[in-house]
Amino acid sequence: MLYATFNLPSFPLATRRHASMMSPTDTVDVAADAALLARIQSELSAATACLGSLVPGITVFGSARTPSDAPDYQSAYRLGRFLARAGLPVVTGGGPGIMGAVNQGAMAVGGVSVGLSISLPHEQSPNPYLTHHLHFSDFQTRKLMLTRYSRGFVVFPGGFGTVDELMELMVAFQTSRSIRKPLVLVGRAFWRGFVDWLTHELGSRHFIDLQNMDFIEHADDEHEVLTILRGKDEADALLLQDPHATLTPGEG
């Protein structure tokens, strides 16, 4: 990681007066900050050691609430199988739904299946389809590790968390072409309204550069995703190589 050093200016008098009026409950908990930094450092060190030892893989985002009988779940499961057959680790947030489907598919064929879970008050435990599991207490640290060691990204339909991850990637990729990697949105119908909003609302006001949005790819199934990530010939070969990938989870 790169660390920048900042020279902080002295605070103006008004700011110092405001600080002097802070109540005891507004004071900074130095001990808590130190514990937080130590925990983040520990999590980063463990994640770097683990992910840095693997071949760069594909990170897949999507809803934790997608049921196992949903078409998106089954597509994610098959994608996990295909990616594992291609020798690529799959990386997810380690939860259920789309994440569990991708991990399950990869594990079913002996692939590398990575989950980066986080402590949440109302979420389930990590899914049981992980060959490598890393646990985080800090969202920003986890988000960094979900993207830093990946060679491409696949985004299935999802909620706030999924859209948050997508927006961070879009900001980074629009800011710098040099760091761009394949980014595939799965489900044209689902994402159409979101992409139209970006185009018509943000683009028409020149809040974003529409000429610099060519990094977004679209797909409706796992075969299209593979074609974008690996090329048509390899995608076709993987489909023939793994006939069980056409089955739903538990049948193959």
Total domains present in the chain: 1
Compute the CA torsion angle 81, 73, 247, 243 (nearest 10 deg): -30
| 112-136 confidence digits (pLDDT tens) | 999 999 877 666 689 999 999 999 9
- Alpha carbon separation from 159 to 57, 63, 188, 230 (Å, rounded): 23, 6, 16, 27
Dihedral pair phi/psi, residue 95, rounded to 5°: -95, -165
In a domain, 13, yes or no: no
Question: How sure is the predictor about 175, in pLDDT bands with cuts at 50, 70 and 90?
Answer: confident
* Both structure tokens of 165: 């991850």
Mean of pLDDT values over 75-96: 97
Nearest alpha carbon to residue 90 among 141, 140, 127, 43: 127
pLDDT reported for residue 24: 55
Task: Provide the total of helices (H) and of strands (E) in the chain, helices listed first.
Answer: 9, 7
In a domain, 22, yes or no: no
Task: Work out the percent of the chain whose per-residue pLDDT is above 70.
Answer: 85
pLDDT reported for residue 22: 54
Domain CATH number, residue 187:
3.40.50.450
Residue 197 pLDDT > 70: yes
Nearest alpha carbon to residue 230 among 83, 89, 105: 83
In a domain, 180, yes or no: yes
In a domain, 17, yes or no: no
State the Rg of the chain over Cα.
21
Dihedral pair phi/psi, residue 60, rounded to 5°: -120, 125
Where in the chain does DSSP place strands (E)? Answer: 57-61, 90-92, 113-118, 132-136, 150-155, 183-186, 216-219
Strands across the sheet containing 90-92 = 132-136, 113-118, 90-92, 57-61, 150-155, 183-186, 216-219
pLDDT reported for residue 23: 57
- Range of the structural domain that residue 93 is part of: 32-246
- Of 1-5, 102-106, 144-148, which gets the smallest average pLDDT? 1-5
In a domain, 79, yes or no: yes
- Alpha carbon separation from 117 to 95, 138, 224 (Å, rounded): 7, 10, 28
For residues 216 and 155, what is the distance between their CA atoms, to the nearest angstrom? 11
In a domain, 184, yes or no: yes
In a domain, 10, yes or no: no
In a domain, 98, yes or no: yes
Residue 51 pLDDT > 80: yes
Dihedral pair phi/psi, residue 240, rounded to 5°: -75, -30
pLDDT reported for residue 248: 61
